[in-house]
Structures are given as structure tokens and as C-alpha cells.
Structure 1
Amino acid sequence: MSTRARILEVTAELLANSPTGEVSTRAICQAAGVGQPVLYRQFGDKGGLLAAVVDYGFEQYLESKRARVPSEDPVRDLREGWDAHTSFALAHKSFYRLMYSTSTTASPTAGAEAFRLLVATLERCAAAGRLRVSPVVAARMVMSANVGVALMMITRPEQFDDPGLSHQVRDAVHARILSDPAPTPSAVAPVAAHLNALLADSPAALSDAETALLRDWLTRLSP
């Protein structure tokens, strides 16, 4: 591990374990085994160090996202993307808390790529006819819910200790933004045949011409 990476790892760990959310550069240098001139030469100042820690965390997260090859099922990719996000958060708690901390000012592009990758998956869902809302609106809903549940599991483990919670929230959000797949011809055929048979025994709610037209359509859809 490089000196720069070691300083970033140590800083994230110390900040995550600090009761006040603060840590001195002296403590960071001592834990990383470097002198303060090394730290300042690498990051400029403490603000530069904190921004680098956030960017480093996002870069680790995005490495796996970039490496994923989209499948033929965008909905499955969306589901797996949620699970991968939660898994990263639980495996890298120190970095994740900093990445989404309200007290840390990240660079404007720190989380932009993650959002774009999510929107791209949702655009594929829309193209498949599976999205109820626009891809951008759906991305905002998914990301805010995914980050929220991950942060609660990390920062409030005594309250949010159910391992199935992430999946429950995921399924609830996906149910709101996703629509059911369009019926396939094989699914439509038996329904059409059944309705055609019922028409013969049902009171006439349509005119003879309308009934004949409907029966013609149903016959075409039947096996």
C-alpha cells in the first residue's frame, strides 16, 4: 500500500471512531507512521486531506460499478446494483460515513458518476417498458433510499440490525418506480379464450355488432 493510500485509510478509520467527528493531523500522522511534512506535501492541508478521503472512498466504490457488465435484464441489474451498494457500505463503513457525511464537503464530481451509472440502468428499464417515472426521478428515489438505509445500518446498528431491512426497502422502492412486464402472447392467449367462452353465457351488454367484433379480436388472440 502506498503512503498516500495508508494516510487515507487511517484518516477514514480515525474519523469514523472519533466521538466528535474530528481528528488531529498529529494523530493521523502517528497512526500512519509518517511525519506531518509528508502529509502536507501529499494533500496541502487538512481540508485537502478530507476531500481526498471522500474521493478515495467514491473511487473504491466506482471501481466495482465500472467493472459490471450489463445483463439482458435491466431490472435485475438495478436490484443487484442496490445490493452491491449496501454491501460496499457495510464492508467500508469508515469511508462510507465520510462519503455521505453532511459535515464533509466533497468535490462537485465526487458522486456524479455513481448517479450517472444509476440513471443509465434506469434508462434501460424505461426502454424495456418497466419504469413508471422518469429515469432521473427514479434515480433520485433509489439513491436517497439506498444511502439512507445503508447509513442507518452503519450508524444505528442497535436499531437497524435486521439483515433483511435493505431488501425490504429495496423492494418497496422498486415496487413504486417499476411496472410489471408486458404480458407475453402465451399469457394473453388463455385469458382471451376464457373471455370468449364467457361471452356466450353472459347477458348482452354490447350490441350484436360490438359483440361480433370483440369475439373476432378474442378469437385472434386465442390459441
Structure 2
Amino acid sequence: MAARPPSGSDPAADPSQTSATGREQTRQRVIEAAIGLLEREGRDAVTTRAVAVAAGLQPPAIYRLFGDKEGLLDAVAEHGFATFLAAKHVDPDPQDPIEDLRAGWDLAVEFGLSNPALYTVMYSEPARAASAAYQAGAAILRGRIRRLAHGGWLRVSEDLAALIIHATARGAVLTWLSVPADRRDPALLTTLRESMVGAVTNQEPAVPDAGPAGAARALRAALPEQTTLSSGEQHLLGEWLDRLAAEG
């Protein structure tokens, strides 16, 4: 007689797993319904009742799944960050790190222009920067910035570079969307991008000949990868390098 599989080994026979899968599918349907309303009618149209109708549910289901309207919008934003993250191309060793920076900036702006209502929800609340997908995207940007620092291309600190890149990309999207379609000039996007590049990078690598500031930034970028120094020594050296880099 053939042995029977252990109880619970068949996912289809596990009511709790089936219930969780159904809940996640319903949750995704609601998020997609909310995004559809955003795109067609704007943020004011995204009420719990309207979303429930669009998703084929009763309004109480929205509260059970998301808590309230803000919880729903948080889930919509997280979906947007995850979609944007999936579109990112990560080259661990780009031939030209500055061109890689440009390409990443262009991708961020293109996503915002292609998804204006969703983009506005994604960046309307600072707290949404804590989302897992947002943090994963930020890590990709930090990797780009770190490669610039390693090569001596970085003109400012890594933290300031990240802020400048974020600010110029968001500003480009929101400004473009605020201008009537017949007055939009593509030169705006190119100019903002090149202003960003000029603000955060050097025209030539700084390490060989630009004095201690560029060398300090390059060494600061490499510091976490070394194991010779103790944690206390790394911390102290990091403070010194930050001070030297700031004086440049």
C-alpha cells in the first residue's frame, strides 16, 4: 500500500494557505482598482467606496485589508516603488559611471512622467520612504554613487549627492507635469539632468591631481571594505576623511 503524504504537504489542501493566497489576490485587485481610479480621475476620486465598487467588493473589505484610506494609499505607493524597482537596470561595473548615473536619472524621470498620478502618491508623504521597495531602490542609487566615489568622480559627499539626485529628478517630474502640454520644453529635462551631473561629479577623476578632498572621498568610499582597522579606528578615520572631503 502506497504511503500517504504527510498532512499539510499539499498546499491546495491547506485552508490557511489557500485563504492567505486569496487575501493577497483580493488585496492586489483593490490596489489595481485604486491605481485605475488615480489615472482616470485623480486622487480625489480614490475613496474607499469608489475603490470597493471598482474592485467588485463591499466597502468594509477595504478596511479589513488596509485599515483605512491612508493604508490603501500606502499600499498603492509601495506597489509603485516595486514596479519602478523592477524596471531598474543594475550594472555592477559600468564602463562609464557618469553615463550610468545619467541613465538612472532618466529612468526615474521617465517613470514619473509615464505614471503621473501614481508618482504623486508615491512621493506625497515622506514616511513612505521607509517602504521596502523604496529602500531597495535607494540602495541601487547608493551603489551608483559609491562607484563614482571609488573612481574619484564625486564632487560632494555621498549623502549630499543622493539628495541632489533625488531632488532634481522629482523636481523635473513635478515641474514638467505642472506646465501646460503646449508649453513643455524637453530642454528643461536635459538641463536639469546636466545640472545634477555637474553638481555631483567632477569632469575628470579627482584622485590623481585634485588634492586631499577627492582622495579623501575615494578612500572614504573604500573604507567599509577593509578589515585591517578596528571598528573604533574606522570610525575615527571616517571622521577625519569626512572633514577633509568637506573642505574641498
TM-score normalised over the length of structure 1: 0.70
| Per-residue deviation, 1:20 | 7.0
| 1:109 equivalenced with 2:131 (yes/no) | yes
| Per-residue deviation, 1:45 | 2.5
User: Structure 2 residue aligned with 1:32, among 55, 59, 66?
Assistant: 55
**The 10-residue stretch of structure 1 (109-118 or 47-56) with the greater mean CA deviation from structure 2:** 109-118
Structure 1 Cα separation of the partners of residues 174 and 123 of structure 2: 8
- Secondary structure in structure 1 of the residue aligned to 2:44: coil
CA RMSD after TM alignment? 2.7
- Secondary structure in structure 2 of the residue aligned to 1:34: coil
User: Structure 1 residue aligned with 2:90, among 41, 46, 68?
Assistant: 68
Taking a change above 3 Å as real, the CA distance of residues 33 and 52 of structure 1, as seen in their structure-2 partners, is: same
Structure 1 residues 131-171: Cα deviation after superposition (integer angstroms, max 9, x where no partner): 11111111111111111111222343448622332121000
Contact in 2 for aligned 1:89/1:150 (Cα 8 Å): yes
Taking a change above 3 Å as real, the CA distance of residues 5 and 51 of structure 1, as seen in their structure-2 partners, is: same
The residue number in structure 2 matching 1:48 is: 71
- Secondary structure in structure 1 of the residue aligned to 2:128: coil
User: Structure 2 residue aligned with 1:96, among 119, 124, 130?
Assistant: 119
Structure 1 Cα separation of the partners of residues 45 and 100 of structure 2: 38
Structure 2 Cα separation of the partners of residues 182 and 105 of structure 1: 36
**The 10-residue stretch of structure 1 (141-150 or 157-166) with the greater mean CA deviation from structure 2:** 157-166
| Per-residue deviation, 1:113 | 3.0
| Per-residue deviation, 1:25 | 0.8
Taking a change above 3 Å as real, the CA distance of residues 19 and 99 of structure 1, as seen in their structure-2 partners, is: closer
Unmatched segments (≥5 aa) in structure 2: 1-24, 207-248
| Per-residue deviation, 1:179 | 0.8
Taking a change above 3 Å as real, the CA distance of residues 114 and 23 of structure 1, as seen in their structure-2 partners, is: same
Taking a change above 3 Å as real, the CA distance of residues 145 and 159 of structure 1, as seen in their structure-2 partners, is: farther
Provide the aligned length of Structure 1 versus Structure 2.
181
Structure 1 residues 23-48: Cα deviation after superposition (integer angstroms, max 9, x where no partner): 32111111222222432332232222
The residue number in structure 1 matching 2:30 is: 7
The residue number in structure 1 matching 2:146 is: 123
| 1:135 equivalenced with 2:173 (yes/no) | no
Structure 1 residues 85-128: Cα deviation after superposition (integer angstroms, max 9, x where no partner): 011112222211101115x8526235333333212201101111
Structure 2 Cα separation of the partners of residues 9 and 101 of structure 1: 19
TM-score normalised over the length of structure 2: 0.64
The residue number in structure 2 matching 1:164 is: 187
| Per-residue deviation, 1:173 | 1.5
| Per-residue deviation, 1:81 | 0.0
Taking a change above 3 Å as real, the CA distance of residues 80 and 7 of structure 1, as seen in their structure-2 partners, is: same
Structure 2 Cα separation of the partners of residues 91 and 158 of structure 1: 14
| Per-residue deviation, 1:53 | 0.9
| 1:86 equivalenced with 2:122 (yes/no) | no
- The percent of aligned pairs where both chains have the same amino acid is 34
Contact in 1 for aligned 2:29/2:55 (Cα 8 Å): yes
| Per-residue deviation, 1:18 | 5.2
Unmatched segments (≥5 aa) in structure 1: 184-223
